[in-house]
């Protein structure tokens, strides 16, 4: 007898904001946004702020006009990594058949884990435990495949649990607007609406596939299958590393007062992050630097490379540049370096543009590892890699 799959998609609600509320209960029921500076853009907003029309990707200035009481907090990758680790460690107690989709969401194959129990009861316990233990609200979708589980978890937020079976597709999925179809790009939606497609049902029933292919290309058939509740994608635990972030931070009880002391501390942190990436055969595309000053003002800034890397020298060059933008002439209480947008090195290759090729030099990975391991133990670099240019000795 065929065993039906029971998949959960578990999505942390307003994750960055929820982490801040978990750390500081005084923020509960207060509108907060996560972003950078008065001229910055919000990364996310909690549900209290959303009542005022505040959304992610909104300029901070506009958000404060809509909600004058809005408290804007800086991005804090170290904090998010900590709570993400709590989240995934807890989920792993249920099943190893788990695949993170990002830092704050995961797919779980619960077919064996729910044996003898109703899936709804299991989902309710997961939701309750995460809220009670870690103060993390989640929404959960339960379905026979990944796509329907993802769509289900989006239907009730925050703190929702939704079951979406294939027999429910026409009733629950088809009435939703076409922009809610997971994976459809924002630029594609207006084109589909030109064809008279307003809902997922309109898309599923559309007869002229050639017109759809003009906008969706070879993805057309896959989207049509999804609109009918079909999905062949499976949960792959081996992809578990691909959305991790790896970071190191250090708190200085006596504070750092000199700029060079701060730079050397960042160099040691960056070296550890680079080494951890290499130990796991990972490479990162995004770097972030976090600074907390003696008056507890926190600032952070991030940079995204055009390619993935775990090269210490490339990483530290950007870390130092980011810190220069954040630096103020005040003592420093905490420094942190975080690498995210992480992938396995074996799945990556770097495509060099014709402008980059001439600047690309062969690297001696073993030499770099030795230099990093030695320098990481000292306040200043004792050794550095030579340039091969004899003029530096003149």
What pLDDT does 98 receive?
93
Tokens of 169: 């597709």
- Going by C-alpha positions, the residue among 240, 232, 281, 231 that lies closest to residue 105 is 240
Task: Select the more confidently predicted residue: 328 or 367.
Answer: 328
Give SS3 for 118. Answer: coil
Residue 149 reports pLDDT greater than 70: yes
pLDDT, average across residues 331-354: 73
With contact defined as beta carbons under 8 Å apart, do 26 and 13 qualify?
Answer: no
**CB atoms closer than 10 angstroms to residue 287:** 27
Residue that is written with structure tokens 């770099």 in the block: 368
**pLDDT level of residue 349 (50, 70, 90 thresholds):** very low
**pLDDT level of residue 197 (50, 70, 90 thresholds):** very high
**pLDDT level of residue 383 (50, 70, 90 thresholds):** low
Residues facing residue 250 across a β-bridge: 335
R_g of the chain, CA atoms, integer Å:
24
User: Residues of the chain with pLDDT > 70: what percent?
Assistant: 84
Lowest mean pLDDT among 117-131, 146-160, 236-250: 236-250
Report the first-to-last Cα separation within the chain, whole angstroms.
81
Return d(Cα 247, Cα 245) in angstroms, integer: 7
What pLDDT does 1 receive?
42
For the chain, domains (ranges, CATH) are 1-164 (3.30.70.270), 170-227 (1.10.150.20), 244-383 (3.30.1490.100)
Interhelix angle 365-375/312-326, rounded to 10 degrees, is 50
Residue 202 reports pLDDT greater than 90: yes
Tokens of 97: 């058949």
**pLDDT level of residue 237 (50, 70, 90 thresholds):** confident
CA atoms within 13 A on the CB side of 335: 24
CA distances from 147 to 106, 310, 333 (A): 12, 33, 45
Which residue numbers are catalytic? 105
- Pick from 55-59, 237-241, 352-356 the range whose average pLDDT is largest: 55-59
What is the chain's mean pLDDT, rounded?
85
Residue 265 reports pLDDT greater than 90: yes
What pLDDT does 346 receive?
67
Enter the DSSP assignment of 4. Answer: P
b/e 143-174 (16+ beta carbons within 10 angstroms → b): bbbbbbbbbbbbbebbebbbbbeeebbeebbb
pLDDT, average across residues 26-41: 82
Residue 226 reports pLDDT greater than 70: yes
What pLDDT does 306 receive?
85
What pLDDT does 390 receive?
36
What pLDDT does 47 receive?
96
User: Residues of the chain with pLDDT > 90: what percent?
Assistant: 59
- pTM of this prediction exceeds 0.75: no
Task: Select the more confidently predicted residue: 87 or 187.
Answer: 87
Tokens of 110: 């619960």
Residue 381 reports pLDDT greater than 70: no
Residue 53 reports pLDDT greater than 60: yes
């Amino acid at each position: 007898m065929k065993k039906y799959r029971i998949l959960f998609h578990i999505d942390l609600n307003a994750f960055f904001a929820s982490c801040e509320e978990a750390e500081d209960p005084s923020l509960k029921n207060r509108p907060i946004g996560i972003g950078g500076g008065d001229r910055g853009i919000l990364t996310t907003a909690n549900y209290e702020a959303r009542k005022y029309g505040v959304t992610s990707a909104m300029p901070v200035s506009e958000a404060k006009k809509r909600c004058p009481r809005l408290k804007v907090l800086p991005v804090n990758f170290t904090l998010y990594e900590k709570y993400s680790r709590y989240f995934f460690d807890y989920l792993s107690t249920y099943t190893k058949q788990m695949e993170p989709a990002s830092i704050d969401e995961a797919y779980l194959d619960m077919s064996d884990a729910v044996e003898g129990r109703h899936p709804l009861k299991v989902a309710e316990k997961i939701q309750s435990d995460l809220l009670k233990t870690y103060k993390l609200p989640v929404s959960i979708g339960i379905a026979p495949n990944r796509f329907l589980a993802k769509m289900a978890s989006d239907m009730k937020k925050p703190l929702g649990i939704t079951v979406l079976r294939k027999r429910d597709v026409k009733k629950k999925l088809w009435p939703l607007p076409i922009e809610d179809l997971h994976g459809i790009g924002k630029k594609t939606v207006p084109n589909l609406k030109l064809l008279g497609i307003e809902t997922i049902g309109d898309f599923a029933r559309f007869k002229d596939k050639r017109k759809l292919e003009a906008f969706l290309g070879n993805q057309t058939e896959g989207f049509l299958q999804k609109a009918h509740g079909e999905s062949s994608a499976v949960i792959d635990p081996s992809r578990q590393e691909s959305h991790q972030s790896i970071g190191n931070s250090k708190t200085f009880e006596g504070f750092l007062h000199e700029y060079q002391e701060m730079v050397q501390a960042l160099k040691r942190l960056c070296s550890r992050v680079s080494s951890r990436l290499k130990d796991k055969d990972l490479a990162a595309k995004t770097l972030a630097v976090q600074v907390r000053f003696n008056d507890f003002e926190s600032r952070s800034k991030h940079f995204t490379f055009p390619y993935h890397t775990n090269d210490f020298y490339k990483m530290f060059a950007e870390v130092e540049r980011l810190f220069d933008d954040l630096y103020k002439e005040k003592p420093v209480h905490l420094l942190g370096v975080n690498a995210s947008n992480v992938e396995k090195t074996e799945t990556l290759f770097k495509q060099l543009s014709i402008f980059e090729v001439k600047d690309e030099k062969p690297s001696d990975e073993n030499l770099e590892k030795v230099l990093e391991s030695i320098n990481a133990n000292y306040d200043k670099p004792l050794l550095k890699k030579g340039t091969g240019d004899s003029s530096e000795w003149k």
